[in-house]
Structure 1
Amino acid sequence: MGQDEGKDFNRFPKGADPAHLWGAGSEKDWMVIAQISDTHILARSSEQAVGAARAENLRRCIADINRGGVDVVVHTGDSVHHGMAEEYAHLREILADLEAPLFLIPGNRDRHGALRVAFDHLSYLPRNGDFLHYAVEDQPIRLVALDSVAAGERKGVFCARRLAWLEETLAREPDRPTILFIHHPPFDIARHYVGGYRRPEDARKLAAVVSRHPQIERLLCGHVHRLHRESWGGTVATTMPSVAVDLRKGVDKAIEAAPLYLLHVASGEDGLVSHTRVVTH
């Protein structure tokens, strides 16, 4: 597969059900992960026209995910736009319809404290401390969420404490297939995203950690609002368009009004394959 704008992602046929991947009546022998990102939800009381549109974009994605076949959903950050409690209340209301387990990480638009309060029912989120990263151990593929956010900083951060946590977490399960997800891509995307970390050495150190752990099957990122894939740190790294359609970049005009999300399908036969899921209903 290539390295730009998601040309090599498979696209589901219009109206197709995610469950069709293994066929009616067959025994499911793989894992399907839906990725959403950069929803940028506004408060229900917001008078901005885009507020209602963004909420509807997310609702349509959730309804499509609920059609069946998805095991877990990961949200790769910027869940709300201003980090306000009212926005998180609206977000939680929308996400309540999601049937699959949800695992989320903060983006630079998020606020750790408000996110913790709004999603205090999610037992995997750390109740205290400076970071919202964690590992999910009870799925066929191990999920490791890395917090790249620092207060007041738009760019990504990978400090010594984060490095130590990630190194220790990955070292505990060296033989388990793992997906790492993080908001800020630690690599450049030519013409679109350059120098995304506060210190260039942060991104290099993160790549070095990942390259030492070959069990990492994929790095999933958000932040850049566009589809991209490349080889990085000895694995494959991807970004996705924002679920918020008004903020999305680099999408074909034929589908520019339709929300979309990604499906990452893992199987012993094919490895990990990513699909773009365009929601047309």
Structure 2
Amino acid sequence: MINQVGGSELNFIQVLGNHDAYLLPKAEIMALTGQQRYHAIENEEAMLIFLDTSKEMNRSDWGGEMDAERLEWLKAQLDKSGNKPVFIFAHHPVYDTTTHSTMEKMSIDPQIDMLDVLNRKEGHGFYFCGHNHMNSIVQKDG
């Protein structure tokens, strides 16, 4: 079991992807997994941010989304982080960043200006995603 590797407990944190949210409402998924849809872990060295970018029970649209509540929360976390490095983990890429992220349904909805939100970050910020199943490293605006 993952929580018994090397004799010590490890915390496994997941972010929801489009396939996770096809059959069950997100509230039910969160109850089953004990996870949160979005949250941050911060210490004196860095901030880790975990985001749910998936759509709920929508098999015809596997693209990503961010509602106003999550966007405001993310802005507040980025502001709070100051100059500490921030590591964001989400399923969907930001539009026009990684390989295939300009293709339909292959990013967070392009009408949501995630780059504007992410550019609030002072210092270093890193965004990890996996929706497009491609190795792709991009640097934008530092």
Q: What is the TM-score normalised by the length of structure 2? A: 0.75
- 1:84-120 deviation digits (Å, cap 9, x = unpaired): xxxxxxxxxx544555432221111113234323322
Runs of 4+ in 1 over 6 A off after TM superposition: none
Residue in 2 that maps onto 1:167: 75
Q: Is 1:116 matched up with 2:30?
A: yes
Select 2:110's aligned residue among 170, 176, 200.
Answer: 200
Alignment of 1:1-281 (within 5 A): 95-98=2-5, 99-111=9-21, 112-120=26-34, 125-126=35-36, 132-138=37-43, 140-151=45-56, 152=58, 153-188=61-96, 189-190=98-99, 192-193=100-101, 194-195=103-104, 196-197=106-107, 199-202=109-112, 205-232=113-140, 234-235=141-142
Q: For the residues of structure 2 that align with 1:198 and 1:217, how far apart are their CA atoms?
A: 18
The amino acid across from 1:178 in the alignment is V
Report the RMSD for the aligned CA atoms in angstroms: 2.4
How far apart are residue 158 of structure 1 and its match?
Answer: 2.2
Gaps of 5+ in 2: none
The amino acid across from 2:11 in the alignment is P
- Asked if the contact 1:142–1:179 (Cα under 8 Å) also holds between the matched residues in 2, the reply is yes
The amino acid across from 1:115 in the alignment is I
- Asked if the contact 1:180–1:216 (Cα under 8 Å) also holds between the matched residues in 2, the reply is no
The amino acid across from 1:146 in the alignment is L
- 1:26-67 deviation digits (Å, cap 9, x = unpaired): xxxxxxxxxxxxxxxxxxxxxxxxxxxxxxxxxxxxxxxxxx
- Asked if the contact 2:52–2:91 (Cα under 8 Å) also holds between the matched residues in 1, the reply is yes
The amino acid across from 1:158 in the alignment is M
- Choose between structure 1 and 2: higher strand proportion: 1
SS of aligned partner of 2:111? helix
Q: For the residues of structure 2 that align with 1:206 and 1:138, how far apart are their CA atoms?
A: 25
* Aligned residues with identical type, % of pairs: 23
Relative to structure 1, the CA distance from residue 226 to residue 180 in structure 2 (aligned partners, 3 Å threshold; closer, same or farther) is same
Q: What is the TM-score normalised by the length of structure 1? A: 0.41
